[in-house]
Amino acid sequence: MYYQFADLLLRSDLPLAELPVARPGLAECRVHSGPSEDRTAFEDRWDHHWRSPEGGISLSCARDGDAYRIGMTGLGTFLVEDGGEAITCPAVETLPGGTLEHLLLDQVLPRVLAHRGRLVLHAGCVVTPAGAIGFLGDSGAGKSTLCASFSRAGFPLMGDDGVVVRETAPTGFEVLATYPGLRLLPDALGPLFDGEPGDTPVAHYSAKRRLDRNHAELSLAAGPRPLRALYLLDAGLKIGIQPVGRRAAFMALLGAAFQLHLDDRDRSRELFERVSALSDAVPMRRLSYPRSFSQLDAVRDALLADAAELPPLARAGG
């Protein structure tokens, strides 16, 4: 089956219910399941570890020649080969189907896209009359909740977890979701969505629920949109929006960028150049607000007003 992941045409032997089905063509990446036996034990060498906010290891990576291993503690190992053209997943019988798809879509494929030369950010994004606006912040910062609030109010959702940002001559930068999706904790579903939300578990180890993208109360955008601004989320006692300095914006973008392997000097240099160009052209603002569902309408109004009042975008390379 063929699927679309951002601008990547994917051919997968595994069913991927969360991705839009695509027309058959020359696939840029192939996905298949590995053998039943444990092909790469977790005690093997790892070059890098990514840690959760609590300090535990959430993901590890190692390079073996031209191949890369991506491991998730207690869940399995993915193998990336041929410059990101081939992905071998853990055997399907070792993980619940939803968990395997979540790891592939939200952890592995964004890093494969980055390895193939895209700037991929861990961010949510919605479309406003002023253009697309993106939300950056650590897991739990409120990206998905803000995205849901906008979508419920009729502003199209691009995605709540991953976006590709690329330069375009007329508009400076445009943004494209890795895939259309929305994931929320149970305590957010009731206040944000009326009736049965049509949700399914994101993964067997997560409390988050994934909404059906065909849900009647979910407004979705298709295709790339001009990127108007980025907002760095922060908790506060009242709603406030302030500009972020260039250095802080660069560091925030770098921290939000997906990477497959941290010791690839050429790709790291290219990443720095893309992040620098983005921070020069697209304004980043710090949004502080109380974490209360009753405040979401006011937060949304403040964001819409702020995006509408921003000065014209700088042209890419200008």
Per-residue pLDDT tens for 159-180?
998 999 999 876 689 999 999 8
- Asked whether the beta carbons of 205 and 193 are under 8 A apart, the reply is no
**pTM for the whole thing?**
0.91
Query: What confidence score (pLDDT) does residue 249 get?
Result: 96
**How far is it, in rounded angstroms, from Cα 59 to Cα 82?**
21
Backbone angles phi, psi at 39, to 5 degrees: -80, -25
pLDDT by residue (tens digit) across 250-292?
999 999 999 998 888 888 999 999 999 999 999 999 999 998 8
- Cβ neighbours, 10 Å, residue 16: 20
Mean pLDDT for the chain overall:
88
pLDDT by residue (tens digit) across 230-242?
999 998 899 999 9
> Domains of the chain, with CATH numbers?
2-116 (no CATH), 121-309 (3.40.50)
- pLDDT higher at 4 or 35: 4
Which residue type occupies 298?
A
Strands (E), 141-250: 157-159, 163-168, 172-177, 183-184, 199-201, 209-211, 225-235, 240-243
Asked if pLDDT for residue 197 goes beyond 60, the answer is no
* DSSP one-letter code for 312: P
Cross-strand bridge partners of residue 200: 210
Joined tokens for residue 244: 């972020």
pLDDT by residue (tens digit) across 101-153?
999 999 999 999 999 999 999 999 999 999 999 999 887 788 999 999 999 89
Compute CA 203 distance to the chain's CA centroid, rounded to the nearest angstrom. 16
**How far is it, in rounded angstroms, from Cα 4 to Cα 15?**
13
